[in-house]
Amino acid sequence: MENIAEIRAICESIGCEYRENVPLCRYTTFRIGGPAPFFLLPRTTEEAAAAVKALHGKVRIVFLGKGSNLLVADEGVDAVVIHLGQNFSDVEVDGETLVCQAGASMSKACAAAWKAGLSDLEFAWGIPGSVGGGAYMNAGAYGGEFSQVVAWCEHVDEAGKIGRFVGEELEYSYRKSRYSGKNYGITRVAFRLEKGNQAAIGARMKELFQRRREKQPLEYPSAGSTFKRPEGAYAAALIEQCGLKGLRVGGAMVSEKHSGFLINTGNATCADVLELIRQVQQRVREQTGFVLEREVQLLR
């Protein structure tokens, strides 16, 4: 980044908490990635919008939540990272609507819904990402997905303007939304839920978490499911069919517990993971004819 002094002066003028040269490996579930030269930590939508407006046109801006579906380049990113994380995680219940700041964990949102006796969000219990990330990619599991329960999303656009998409305006499809491919920062998400039996909600959450613990390699850093589900098949089944469980490149490995997960065994680099992805895609294509599309987002 060439204009360090200018960006530093802007960050100081905004009044938003910020840090310099922050290793992004600390903020992704893969535990991989180099530094960001500037790392902003807003507490409100208005503060995030002010930051984007002040920096617009002067530097690349990237929004980051829990980093659970993200692979960051080893050399880091030449950008200002706006982290909607721990400082941006309030959750409120308003009748049968759950309103969450985007940095709230899915587990925190699910726990709030359960405490309020609100159902239909149980599928998200144990998904490691943030509410904003889940809304961005239409996260789903065990027959449920965000498109079924999101009422609206508030965002900051590329110019720093605050806006909102409601209902069908979100244009949800499999692992996609209207936000896909756009550099918008989702700042709040509202879930429209239904009254339910608190004990039944808790039992369902417990059941799903047990299934996750038994089937997924939660003991290793990863970004969850590495590949999207190809039409007519399942990525994990194809990878296992090709005998790729345990395939390793450097510190990156195809999980022996769940072949849909590529894991960091302790010292994996972004380059390791990308090469392992390439090898898996090539072997699956050659042996089955299916093309696996990467679900994990690459930030470089």
Cβ atoms < 10 Å from Cβ of 103? 27
Q: Tell me, yes or no, if 295 is annotated catalytic.
A: yes
Q: Tell me, yes or no, if 175 is annotated catalytic.
A: yes
Q: Tell me, yes or no, if 13 is annotated catalytic.
A: no
Which of 17, 240, 275, 295 is catalytic? The answer is 295
Which of 31, 175, 188, 204 is catalytic? The answer is 175
155 phi, psi to nearest 5 deg: -150, 165
Distance CA 157, CA 299 (A): 19
152 phi, psi to nearest 5 deg: -160, 160
Q: Of 288, 87, 100, 119, nearest to 199 (Cα)?
A: 119
Dihedral, 47, 48, 53, 57 alpha carbons, nearest 10: 150
Which of 130, 147, 177, 225 is catalytic? The answer is 225
Catalytic positions are: 175, 225, 295
